Amino acid sequence: MSEPFVSIEVGEARAQQMTRREVLEVLAAVGLGLFGVSACTPARILLRDYPAEFDTEPLRVDRTLRAFVTAVVPGMDPSEANLVRAFYDSYFPLEPHRNFLAAELSRYARERYGRDRFDLLPYEHRVRVIQDGLDEGGIIARIFGGAVFLTQIACYSGIYDDEQGCSLVDFEGRYRVRPISETSYDHPERFLPTATTVDGNPA
């Protein structure tokens, strides 16, 4: 396997076939885990403690999350179909906390700028609000940090569109046949220093 630059700390995907223990083990190992946070009672209470309208007004949640994503990865098209899909994807553990995150963004926006509508704040103010959540510590910081983490993975990697990838970083998604001249350079010998082996194997 590739030596991870990182490892994608990974686990299993056959969630529907897995026991709860296995799912937790996977979440712990996968990189996208976050999610022991909801296991303890205080956390559970906190994560359900937000205004009811965030459960009843999905458009409000959606526009708040879109504003969040375009603050974390500015340059992403706010109307892009898959922009906030990761927050609605039950594969990722933030899905149950989506409404809570939107509510917290609104709360911090109100506290710092006197406006409920996080999505109407200018970029710099949204950055400040997100930073407030990251600085909060405890479960709030883990939710905000996990949301930043998931957003970056989803956007830059183009996880929902193999054809498109992420144009922001010139990642084209799946391979398109291209001539070798595009993957290497002419006259490669000019780049190569002295070799010390006959065949590439170390002595």
Partner 1 sequence: MMRRIDTDVLVIGSGFGGSPAALRLARAGLRVVLVEKGPRINPYRDFRQTQDPQYLLKYIRGMAGNNLNLTYAEALGGGSGFYEMVSLRAPRKAFVQRDQASRRLWPEGVDRDRLDPFYDVGERKLNVEQIDPALVPKSGLVFASMMKNLGYSCERARYAVRGCLGSGFCVTGCIYGAKQSLLLNYIPQAESAGATVETDLEALYVKPLSRLLPDRSGALPTTPVRYEVVCRSTEDGAQKTVFRTKLLILASGTVGTAKLLLQSRRFFRHLSRQTGRNIAFNGAVKVAGLLPDGFPEGDMFTGRSHPGMISYEFLESRGVTISAAKPMPLQVLASVRLRLDGDGPRPLHWGRDHVELMKQYRRRMMVLVAFGMTPPGGEIRHLHGDSFSLDLDVDDSLRTYYEETKELLNGILSRNGCRLVYAEFVDHEGRPYDDIHFSTSHQVGSCRMADDARRGTCNADGEIFGNPGLYITDGSAIPTSLAVNTSLTILANAERIVSNIVRRYCEDRAITRSAA
Per CB under 8 A, which of residues 122..141 are in contact with partner 1? 123, 127, 130-131, 134
Whichever of 109 and 148 has its CB closer to partner 1, that residue is 148
Residue that is written with structure tokens 């709360």 in the block: 107
Q: Report 40-69 residues binding partner 1 (CB under 8 A).
A: none
| Candidate list 29, 43, 46, 120; residue touching partner 1; CB under 8 A | 29
Residue 83: CA atoms inside 13 Å, Cβ hemisphere, count? Answer: 21
- Among positions 59, 79, 81, 185, the unique one binding partner 1 when judged by CB under 8 A: 185
Rg (CA), the chain: 21
By CB under 8 A, residue 169 contacts partner 1: yes
Residue from 67, 73, 129, 140 binding partner 1 (CB under 8 A): 73
Residue 93, both tokens? 């553990």
Please give the helix or strand (H or E) that residue 104 lies within, else none.
helix 98-113
Residues binding partner 1: what is the number (CB under 8 A)? 83
Do the Cβ atoms of 18 and 26 come closer than 8 Å? yes
Binding flag, residue 182, partner 1 (CB under 8 A): yes
CA 156 to chain CA centroid, nearest Å: 9
Per-residue mark of binding to partner 1, 74-93 (x: CB under 8 A): xx---------------x--
Choice between 60 and 119, CB closer to partner 1: 119
Shortest Å distance, C-beta 112 to partner 1: 15
Q: What are 89's two structure tokens?
A: 């994807």
Tell me the C-alpha distance between 91 and 77, whole Å.
24
